[in-house]
Every structure is written in structure tokens, then in C-alpha cells.
Amino acid sequence: MENILSTIVQRDPHEKEFHQAVREMLQMVRPVFERNPEYRREAVLERIAEPERVIMFRVPWMDDQGQVQVNRGYRVEMNSAIGPYKGGLRFHPSVNLSIVKFLAFDQVFKNSLTTLPMGGGKGGSDFNPKGRSDGEVMRFCQTFMAELFRHIGPDTDIPAGDIGVGAREIGYLFGMYKKLRNEFTGVLTGKSLDWGGSLVRPEAAGYGVVYFAAEMLAARSETFEGKTCLISGAGNVAQHAAEKIIDLGGRVVTFSDSSGYIFDEQGIDREKLAFVRHLKNILRGRIREYVEKYPGAVYTEIDPDRDHNPLWSHAADCAMPCATENELNEKDAVNLVRGGVRLVCEGANMPSTPGAIGVFDEHGVLFGPGKAANAGGVAVSGLEMAQNSMRLRWPKEEVDERLRQIMKNIHSICLDAAAEYGMEGNYLAGADIAGFVKVVNAMLDQGLV
Ligand code: NDP
């Protein structure tokens, strides 16, 4: 395994996020190879860590000043063993091939855990929608789709949203796809309700994280009632995780964005949450504006070069990192343990560094890894695809109940797989093993392609 990893590192030495994701997976699936010697003979690791297809393209567009801008677009079609490629698009200046490959790699196993027939992919661009007018975002999305449309389709590859890609961007992308192909199909998920979207899709990732965490607590005869929770981020996943925690009787005290975080000791209630939604989704403002409206809260700027994030130093019972990868490091994990946190459940993809996960493990903190805990987003995307194929729409209660069942199921799958390999209660090992075995067996069934 070390040889395989060093070959991957030598081949693409700059892809550190991708190496991190592959390294974690290799460590966790080691025992599976002892039981299945054919996996080694068939070189499944080498095959699974190599994308089936990588698409990189130029995205030229014109800004409001008439200046031509050039961004880079990506789509990594990682694995289609169990279904068409499925995974979001991210628009953020940090996007590069390493980040898209790591997200696509993790997406393969996440999608496998949902039990829905979806392969894994991911894409995006280094375009920054922040501060851009609607017209600029529309022109960018149209040019992006003018290339992407030839690689995707409802039975081939079905993108969705991610950081920087919400309802507005999905609308512009869908409009251009429809014009180019002259067809109205479920080629993107996260669509608006009036033209093919599913109820509960916007809420799904955040609700799903909390449903998963509630299962983790229930396995220890506990609930969210009265528990204090730290949440990072203030976007789609963070907002809906907060909403569901409030529904279940918990107390959310933080939100953040890339500039800083707010701490509201009184707790963020439904009214304050509605303010954050309006601020972030409509006004596209900054989280510091929260304290102008609610002066009882405190805003702290976060230095991008910090060695720890003060958000994670507050006393709490639970923590849910819902912003971005590697946002919670070993020091943060130590601070969480000191502050009394006993459950960490990841809303974002790979937000905890390997050092942080080591600290959780050492101190017996319940740890729900993103690839299991945040699978609710893609699961409801899968349900959106099913509704689009049938040309009908399920009621809200039905989709929500299906989401809840899927999260409950993923929780059991993780625990069962971990127990089967003697790692009782290790959700990370369980998620990696269960997701991996299913995809690998499908690949073996389909021959060397
Ligand atoms: P949004 O764009 O809606 O929100 C992202 C939030 O994270 C914003 O508050 C943003 O702050 C903050 N953030 C982004 N990058 C950084 C950074 N480098 N440092 C600090 N803060 C940052 O995205 P989502 O809520 O959709 O996604 C959040 C995470 O959840 C991502 O890891 C995504 O991959 C994952 N995820 C999303 C799913 C979905 O369905 N949307 C499904 C499963 C996982 P700012 O506004 O300043 O940029």
C-alpha cells in the first residue's frame, strides 16, 4: 500500500489534498485486503485512485467593465461502477485539480453508502462569485456550460451544487444546457422547485448531518435536547444543520465565514437563523453583520494564517464543521476536547485534518466522517433524479422521511462494517470499508475497463 501511495504522490506531487484523501482510505481498508487477496491481484487500489476521465477547460467571459476574464473549469469523472457520475460543482478561488480529485474520490464512497445507484464525480472552477453581479455570474455559468454540456447528461454525469454554487448558479447552468441540447432533463440536481427540483434538496445535506449525529447519540441513549453545538460556516450546510438542531432542542452558538465567526451565548434561535439566511442567501453579506443586529453576540476575525481557529475553543457538547476542508486541525481538536465536546460530526468534506482525527480517537470523541454524515445532500439529489425520471414530485414529508431512513441506514452500515473488521464504533473505518467494498466488487464484476 505504501508503494501504491508513493507512486500516486510521485505521479502528481502537488496534489496534497488528493493524497490526504487516498492515504486515509488506504489506512482504513487495509484489513479488507487480508480477507480478499484477489483485490491485490486485480490492482483495485491503483484502479480506484485513478479517475476514469479528467476534463479541464478554459472559461473566458466578460465582466461588467467589458474586461475579458479567463478561468479554468474542471470535471473529474472518478468512478462509474455503480451508476452515472454524480457530484457537485464548486466555484471558489482555491479550486484546483487536487481539490476536485479529492472531492471526486470521496464522493465515490459517499454515493456508495447511500445505497442509491450513483457513481462519483466532482467539478468546478477557480471563479469567485463573491462580489460579482448576477449578470457576471450568469455569463460565467453560460460559458462554463458551453463546454461542460458535451460531457454530461442524465444517464452519464449529473452535477449539483457545492461551495459557491447555489440555486442561482444551478439555474443559469441548467438554462444553458437546455438551450444547447434542446432537451429538458434532470441533468443537474438542486434545481428550483418550479422546474424539476425536489422538495428538501436545499435542506438535505444539513438535515442529514444532524439525522446522522442523532443516530450516533441514540446509540448511546442520548439526544440533542439541551446540547450546545458549535457550527462553522454559514452557507447551505451550516444553516440547515442549525435549523435541525434547533428543531431537536439543541442550542447553536456559532456561525462563521472565511473572514471570522460570531459567538452568541444566548443561542441562535429561529428568528436569528432567518436573519442569517437573508444576510447570506439574499444580501450575500458577511457574518460580522450579525452583531450589528444582535449586539449580545461577539464577532471575532479569523487570521487566515492562524495556527488554530478560536471558534473551536468555546465550551460545548457537539461540534459540526460545515465550511471547508482542513478547517479543524490538531490544536482545534485539543481545544474541543478541553471544552467538553464529545461528538464531532462533519458537514463539510474532509474538514478535520488527520491530526485532529487522531485526537478524537485518543479521547473517545464520537466522530462522524463527512463521507457518511453529509451524504444526505447527494442522497436527495438521487431522489431528485428518480422523481425527474418518473416526471412527478413527492411531498415534502415523503422526501424528508426517505432522507431520515437513508441516514439511519448509513449509520447502521458504518457500524456493521466496522464491527465486522473488529473496529467497533469506528465510523470512519466503517464508512471507508463499506463504501469501498461495494464499489470494488462492482468493478470486478464488470471486468478490466
Ligand atoms: P456554501 O458556499 O453555501 O457555504 C460555504 C461556507 O463555508 C461559507 O460560509 C463560506 O464562507 C465558508 N468557507 C468556504 N471556504 C472557506 C475557507 N477556505 N475558509 C473558511 N470558510 C470558508 O457551501 P456549502 O454549505 O454547500 O458547503 C460547505 C461544505 O459542505 C463543503 O465542504 C461542501 O463540499 C460540503 N457539502 C455540501 C453539500 C451540499 O449539498 N451543498 C453536500 C455535502 C457536502 P465565505 O462566504 O466567506 O466564503
Mean pLDDT in each 10-residue stretch from start to end of the chain (449 residues)? 93 97 95 94 96 98 98 98 98 98 98 97 97 97 98 98 96 98 96 97 98 98 98 98 98 97 98 98 96 98 93 98 98 98 98 98 98 98 96 97 98 98 97 98 97
Cα 221 to middle of ligand 1, angstroms = 31
Residue 2 pLDDT: 86
Domain termination residue (choose one: 318, 342, 373)? 373
Number of domains in the chain: 2
177 and 225: one domain?
A: no
208 and 328: one domain?
A: yes
Q: Is residue 27 part of a domain?
A: no
215 and 360: one domain?
A: yes
Say how many C-beta atoms besides its own lie within 10 A of residue 394's C-beta. 18
- CATH number (domain holding residue 288): 3.40.50.720
135 and 217: one domain?
A: no
328 and 231: one domain?
A: yes
Domain termination residue (choose one: 321, 345, 373)? 373
262 and 163: one domain?
A: no
Residue 112 pLDDT: 98
d(CA 144, CA 121): 17
Q: Is residue 58 part of a domain?
A: yes
C-alpha separations of 28 from 71, 278, 373 in Å: 36, 41, 17
Name the strand (E) or helix (H) holding 124.
strand 120-125
DSSP 375: T
Say how many C-beta atoms besides its own lie within 10 A of residue 98's C-beta. 17
Q: Whose C-alpha lies nearest to ligand 1, atom 36?
A: 348
Atom of ligand 1 nearest to the CA of 160: 40
Atom of ligand 1 nearest to the CA of 350: 32
- CATH number (domain holding residue 119): 3.40.50.10860
Which domain, by its residues, includes 238? 204-373
174 and 299: one domain?
A: no
Q: Is residue 26 part of a domain?
A: no
pLDDT tens, residue by residue, 359-412: 999 999 999 999 999 999 999 999 999 999 999 999 999 999 999 999 999 999
Q: Is residue 429 part of a domain?
A: no
Q: Is residue 8 part of a domain?
A: no
123 and 237: one domain?
A: no
Contacts of 99 (CB under 8 A, 6+ apart): 17, 18, 90, 124, 325
298 and 352: one domain?
A: yes
Say how many C-beta atoms besides its own lie within 10 A of residue 266's C-beta. 11
Domain termination residue (choose one: 324, 346, 373)? 373
Residue count of the chain, please give it: 449
Cα 44 to middle of ligand 1, angstroms = 32
Q: Is residue 365 part of a domain?
A: yes
C-alpha separations of 177 from 143, 159, 170, 184 in Å: 10, 12, 10, 9
100 and 230: one domain?
A: no
Report yes or no: 217 and 343 within 8 Å, Cβ to Cβ. Answer: yes
Q: Is residue 436 part of a domain?
A: no
pLDDT tens, residue by residue, 148-185: 999 999 999 999 999 999 999 999 999 999 999 999 99
Residue 304 pLDDT: 86
DSSP 165: B
270 and 326: one domain?
A: yes
Q: Which residues line ligand 1 (CB under 6 A)?
A: 161-164, 205, 233-238, 257-259, 322-324, 327, 347-349, 374, 377
